[in-house]
Structures are given as structure tokens and as C-alpha cells.
Amino acid sequence: MDFKDIIQDIYKNVKAMEDCGALPTYIPDLAEVDPNKFGVHITTMDCQNYGVGDCYQKFSIQSIAKVLSLILAYKLLGAKIWERVDVEPSGNAFNSLLQLEVEKGIPRNPFINAGALVIADILLSELKNPKAEFLAFVRDISNNEDINYSSQIAASEKEVGFRNIALCNFIKSLGNIKNNPADVLDLYFDICSLEMHCKDLSELFLFLANNGKKITDKTPILTETQSKRINALMQTCGFYDESGEFAFRVGLPGKSGVGGGIIAIYPDKYAIAVWSPKLNKKGNSYKGMKFLEEFTSVTNLSIF
């Protein structure tokens, strides 16, 4: 299927729609982003690489990076990782503290903030220089040296990250954070501050459509089983308490971030990235979800 015309048409329609979302205000620098930015980029297994709009402008990928930190921790610890973090949808907001007390500090899944903090703690324990090694890992997956953290965004979030500070200390008190909470939070904020554009994202994530192997030289990043499990988690937990809605409307494994980005994967076929900064009430890109809903409906390419 040639995606170019389809993407152009849907892009035009969705761009013209009213945007019922709002910029996130709890991270001061994200509230300064131009709300009208809108980009889409697809990379396919049959080598199509096509984008429209602001698809070459970098943005803060925020929680999309939680997939990458999980993958690195999974490579380092293997299945033991599931002793520290569960694999169930939370049905609660991404930054909720609610379930932790009853569930004794084991976060519901690695994509809510509580889970991603435990993953950051694992990276801190397992790596000598976690910040540099995580970045090198991300660059290596996509053969792209032009991926960096934003120290400005990380500092902006750190200044007001009271909920994450509370979460991290609470999990520490329950015994599931092994390192100093301040160090875990520093690494977590850096991970969330990664910047990429839609083309970077769709190229990087294509390995999850390829059973966990790099497209270029077929090096395994993950085993086939591990890759299947990451896609399953993206499907069931990638959009927090809107994961059911995303499966219902779009029907692909995916992950969102409060920077307004979404990555979605169709195994064996493609990875597609969308960026539109205004978010719906659940913290997912309003137009990003609209675009992907149209895209999988028009192409009839969803996994269901």
C-alpha cells in the first residue's frame, strides 16, 4: 500500500479540525511549545519513509522514552524484572499514587510514572554510567547519533516534580527503590527529556515491528519473545487510563508522552509517529489520537 496520499489527506482533515486539547502546564517549558505544531512520519518494513507537517522538528518525547528504558532494563535483568514491576493496566492516571500502598510498592506496569521510576532505579543499579549508557543505547538502536537529552526540560520538570518526588520516596519506603531517590529522580527526568522528531521516532521504533531486530543489519535488540511482550505492554498500558480507548479507536500497540507525541507499531508492517502538543484530559495528544484513528480506519490496518 502506498501511504503517501492517504497520510496527506488525513493530515489535512485533522489539521482543519478544532483541537479540543490543552497544553500541559505542570512542566513549565512544555506549556511554552507552539500548540499548532503537527507532524506525522511513517517508516515501513518495505522501506517507505514518508512524513508531513512538522515531522522534522524535535520535541520532548517524555513518556515515550519509558519504552526504551524498559527495554534496556529488560535486556539487563531478563524476566526477573517482573518481580519489581507488574504487567497490568492501572486504570488510573499516569502519575497516580493510589494503588501503590495496597500493592506494596510494586507498580502496576512500567509505563505509569511509578513503574518507570522503578525501571530507572534498576538502570542505576545495573549500569556504571546510566545517563550516558542509556543515551548510547537509544542512539545505537536507530543508528542515530543526533539524539540528545534536553537539560533545560529536565531542569524545568525537576523544579516542580513534586508528584514524582512523592512517588519515588513512597516506593522507597515500601522497599522497591534500592538507590537514593534523588539519584533515581535525576535519571528519570533525564530519560523523559529526550528530544526527537517524528522521523527519528518512526525509524527508531521500527525494530519492534521486526520481532526486536534492527532493520539495517538485523542485530537483535530483543529476543522475539521479549519484543512480543513489549508490544503487548504498549497495547494494554501505553495510554494509561485511556489504553482501552486507544485499542478501541486505533487498534495498535502504542505509547504516548505529555510532549504530545505518540508512536504506534503494526508488527511486520510499520511504525508511525505523530506529534501534536495539545493533550486530552487523560494526557494523550488529542489530534494525535484522531489522526491514528483515521489512519487505521482508512487503511484497514489495525491488528484487530
Ligand X SMILES: NC(=O)CC[C@H](N)C(=O)O
- Cβ distance to ligand X smaller for residue 53 or 283: 283
From candidates 113, 142, 156, 211, binder to ligand X by CB under 6 A: 113
CB of 288 to ligand X, least distance (A): 13
Catalytic residue among 60, 63, 69, 227: 63
Rounded to a whole number, what is the distance in angstroms from the first to the last CA of the chain?
A: 18
Classify residue 103 as left (phi > 0), alpha (psi -120 to 50) or beta. alpha
Q: Residue 183, class by beta-carbon neighbours within 10 Å (0-12 exposed, 13-18 middle, 19+ buried)?
A: middle
Among 3, 38, 74, 94, binds ligand X (CB under 6 A): 94
Does residue 50 have an active-site annotation? no
Taking the C-alpha atoms of residue 200 and residue 187, their distance in angstroms, rounded to an integer, is 22
Q: Which residue is nearest to ligand X (CB)?
A: 63
Map the footprint of ligand X across residues 177-216, applying CB under 6 A.
192
Residue 43: name the closest of 196, 195, 207 by CA.
207
Q: How far is the CB of 221 from ligand X (least distance, A)?
A: 22
Which of 95, 99, 179, 302 binds ligand X (CB under 6 A)? It is 95
C-alpha cell at 284: 494523550
Question: d(Cα 285, Cα 304) in Å, to the nearest integer?
Answer: 22
Residue 17 corresponds to which cell in the numbers above? 479540525
Residues 245-304 that bind ligand X (CB under 6 A): 257-258, 283
Judge whether 96 counts as a catalytic residue: no
The three three-digit cell numbers of residue 275, written as one number: 506529534
The question of whether 188 is a catalytic residue gets the answer: yes
- Give the nearer residue to ligand X in terms of CB position, either 87 or 165: 165
Catalytic option among 258, 266, 269, 276: 258
**What's the closest the beta carbon of residue 144 comes to ligand X, in angstroms?**
21
Query: CA 192, 149, 84 angle in degrees (round to 5)?
Result: 35
- Which parts of 20-79 interact with ligand X (CB under 6 A)? 62-63
Phi and psi dihedrals of 270, rounded to 5?
Answer: -160, 165
Beta strands in the chain (DSSP E): 39-44, 49-53, 59-60, 195-196, 254-256, 261-266, 270-275
The catalytic position among 74, 240, 266, 286 is 240
Cβ-based neighbour number of residue 25 at 10 Å = 9
Residue 95 CB, nearest approach to ligand X (Å): 5
Closer by beta carbon to ligand X, 59 or else 94: 94
* Rounded-to-integer distance, Cα 272 and Cα 292, Å: 9
Whether residue 160 lies in the annotated active site:
no
CB of 116 vs ligand X, minimal distance in Å: 8
Residue 138 annotated as catalytic: no
Applying CB under 6 A, the residues found at the interface with ligand X are: 62-63, 94-95, 113, 157, 164, 192, 257-258, 283
List active site positions: 63, 66, 188, 240, 258
